[in-house]
């Protein structure tokens, strides 16, 4: 490819890794290659989620990276968290999302929970012994999440929850669901956050969505019929649930952006290898400028996305405002993942469209990243509003 003999894939590890980040990258990559790579294609086909993968990641200390050590976490930052998520996504977008989603209740409880809630719920999540879920969306409230309809009515020392949540990732295997319901009037200020625990009478799983991809990750309807949740399971004050949820999603956007970087890197690795091996018209297709320029653009965009992720993470770790930067990282990294995965399918030609290569899976996985944790249109609304309001 290049006159210096340097292959593009040798640039895959970002030069800005600290020693700790490099160690985490290597540990996560080894685990993902040895334990997830061999089963990922078959499990995507059958829709099999393996909680033991999360437990093993937990035993390596990888499921509670940004959580304080006092609650069983690693006490590191979002910069380190992003490295772990990116490396998981390079092999399986579903397990990257699983770890990120299990992280949401941990981060919410760490910032808005009582001491008792922190001690009771975080350690099992940060150790990977338990799986977490984040349940905000409903059929009539996606982007407009503040208009949710599930109700939580106070009855003595309990709240009684009724309604139907939609699209809750891994609710079927979760022990701890951070769930938003309406305790007050219309709008976001009427929403409160609750910890709903597996086995609470009245909570059942509805349909499991049939999706374009990400089959390992189960997307569940959650039915709530007179579920009695103790008052001590409310997180934050009454009416603060939407704020609590949005704060968590700001951090979550960094992890979704990192997932995009991981998926894009994975796709590019396959395309670079293929372009050097596949010959047409008597030469490797990598020697056609139409292909090589595409590869150059993809590598540049992926590194730019990575830098946006690092900036948002650095701001969050320095406890500075980071919401707009997280939206920019999410927007650019996931759009990059979609563009790169689509172009990689093109570089592989007919083979790219078959399941003989993973790039068609990466393309299907990249698509969901543009939708979850706030669609990319909503990220643009947030970014524009910060400039024009
Ligand atoms: C696989 C998967 C996993 C998910 N996991 C979870 C989960 O774990 N927990 C959870 O709570 N939710 C989850 N979701 C739900 C997800 O967050 C929503 O799908 C997403 O927020 C978009 O909402 P919606 O689908 O209702 O789309 P809508 O809000 O109906 O949007 C439809 C279109 O209109 C656009 N649009 C809407 N409002 C505006 C606006 N103001 N300006 C410009 N464009 C706009 C959107 O960008 C989109 O293109 C998941 C969804 C999927 C598919």
pLDDT in tens, 159-181: 999 999 999 999 999 999 999 99
CATH class of 243-388: mainly alpha
Answer yes or no: is the C-beta of 143 below 6 A from any ligand 1 atom: yes
CB 81 within 8 A of CB 42: no
Reply yes or no on whether the pLDDT at 11 is more than 80: no
Lookup result for tokens 């968590």: 248
Q: Where are the CATH 2.40.110.10 domain residues in the chain?
A: 133-241
Going by pLDDT thresholds of 50, 70 and 90, the confidence category of residue 15 is: low
pTM over the 0.85 mark: yes
Q: Return d(Cα 361, Cα 330) in angstroms, integer.
A: 20
Average pLDDT over residues 259-282: 98
Answer yes or no: is the C-beta of 137 below 6 A from any ligand 1 atom: yes
Q: Where are the CATH 1.20.140.10 domain residues in the chain?
A: 243-388
Among residues 34, 39, 18, 10, the alpha carbon closest in space to that of 83 is found at: 18
Distance 112 CA to ligand 1 centre (A): 25
Pick the CATH number of 8-130 from 1.20.80.10, 1.10.540.10, 3.40.50.1390, 3.40.50.300: 1.10.540.10
Distance 192 CA to ligand 1 centre (A): 20
**Helix/strand/coil percentages in the chain, nearest 5:** 55, 15, 25
Q: Return d(Cα 387, Cα 36) in angstroms, integer.
A: 42
Distance 153 CA to ligand 1 centre (A): 27
Q: Which residues contact 239 (CB under 8 A, 6 or more apart)?
A: 183, 184, 189, 190, 191, 192
Answer yes or no: is the C-beta of 136 below 6 A from any ligand 1 atom: yes
Taking the CA of residue 133 as reference, the ligand 1 atom at the shortest distance is 8
Q: What is the pLDDT of residue 69?
A: 96
Q: What is the pLDDT of residue 389?
A: 86
Q: In this structure, what token pair is assigned to residue 104?
A: 């949401």
Taking the CA of residue 136 as reference, the ligand 1 atom at the shortest distance is 11
Distance, CA of 129 to chain centre? 19
Q: Where are the CATH 1.10.540.10 domain residues in the chain?
A: 8-130
Q: What is the CATH number that goes with domain 133-241? A: 2.40.110.10
**Catalytic residue numbers?**
373
Distance 207 CA to ligand 1 centre (A): 18
Average pLDDT over residues 268-273: 98
Q: Across the chain, what does the average pLDDT equal? A: 95
Q: In this structure, what token pair is assigned to residue 375?
A: 């669609």
Distance 373 CA to ligand 1 centre (A): 8
Answer yes or no: is the C-beta of 170 below 6 A from any ligand 1 atom: no
Reply yes or no on whether the pLDDT at 119 is more than 60: yes
Going from the C-alpha of 303 to that of each of 265, 298, 299, the distances in angstroms are 9, 9, 6
Q: In this structure, what token pair is assigned to residue 387?
A: 């400039």
Angle formed at CA 246 by CA 260 and CA 70, multiple of 5 degrees? 85
Answer yes or no: is the C-beta of 180 below 6 A from any ligand 1 atom: no
Which of 166, 178, 210, 372 is the pocket-test mutation for ligand 1 (most atoms within 8 Å of CB)?
Answer: 372
Among residues 83, 101, 81, 90, the alpha carbon closest in space to that of 32 is found at: 90
Helix axes 323-347, 376-388, angle to 10 degrees: 140
Minimum CA distance residue for ligand 1 atom 52: 167
Minimum CA distance residue for ligand 1 atom 25: 142
192-242 pLDDT, tens digit per residue, is: 999 999 999 999 999 999 999 999 999 999 999 999 999 999 999 999 999
Going by pLDDT thresholds of 50, 70 and 90, the confidence category of residue 121 is: very high
């Amino acid at each position: 490819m290049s006159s210096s003999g340097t292959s593009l894939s040798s640039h895959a590890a970002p030069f800005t890794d600290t020693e700790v980040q490099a160690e985490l990258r290597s540990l996560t990559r080894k685990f993902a290659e040895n334990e997830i790579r061999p089963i990922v294609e078959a499990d995507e086909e059958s829709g099999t989620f393996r909680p033991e993968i999360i437990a093993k990641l937990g035993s390596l200390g990888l499921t509670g990276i940004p959580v304080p050590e006092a609650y069983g976490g690693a006490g590191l930052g979002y910069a380190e968290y992003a490295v772990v998520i990116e490396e998981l996504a390079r092999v399986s977008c579903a397990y990257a999302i699983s770890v990120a989603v299990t992280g949401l209740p941990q981060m919410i409880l760490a910032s808005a929970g009582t001491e008792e809630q922190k001690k009771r719920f975080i350690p099992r999540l940060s150790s990977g012994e338990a799986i977490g879920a984040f349940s905000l969306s409903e059929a009539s409230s996606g982007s407009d999440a503040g208009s949710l309809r599930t109700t939580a009515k106070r009855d003595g020392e309990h709240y009684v929850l009724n309604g139907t949540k939609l699209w809750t990732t891994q609710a079927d295997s979760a022990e701890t669901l951070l769930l938003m319901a309406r305790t007050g009037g219309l709008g976001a200020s009427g929403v409160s956050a609750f910890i709903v625990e597996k086995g609470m009478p009245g909570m059942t799983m509805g349909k499991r969505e049939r999706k374009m991809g990400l089959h390992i990750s189960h997307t569940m309807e959650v039915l709530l019929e007179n579920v009695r949740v103790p008052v001590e399971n409310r997180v934050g004050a009454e009416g603060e649930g939407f704020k609590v949820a949005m704060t968590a999603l700001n951090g979550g956007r960094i992890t979704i952006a990192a997932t995009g970087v991981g998926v894009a890197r994975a796709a590019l690795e396959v395309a670079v290898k293929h372009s050097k091996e596949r010959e047409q018209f008597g030469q490797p297709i990598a020697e056609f400028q139409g292909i090589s320029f595409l590869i150059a653009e993809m590598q540049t965009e992926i590194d730019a996305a990575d830098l946006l992720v690092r900036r948002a993470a650095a701001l969050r770790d320095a406890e500075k405002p980071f919401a707009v930067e997280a939206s920019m990282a999410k927007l650019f990294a996931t759009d990059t993942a979609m563009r790169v995965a689509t172009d990689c399918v093109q570089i592989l030609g007919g083979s790219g469209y078959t399941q003989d290569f993973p790039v068609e899976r990466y393309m299907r996985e990249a698509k969901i990243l543009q939708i979850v944790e706030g669609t990319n249109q909503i990220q643009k609304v947030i970014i524009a509003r910060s400039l024009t309001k």
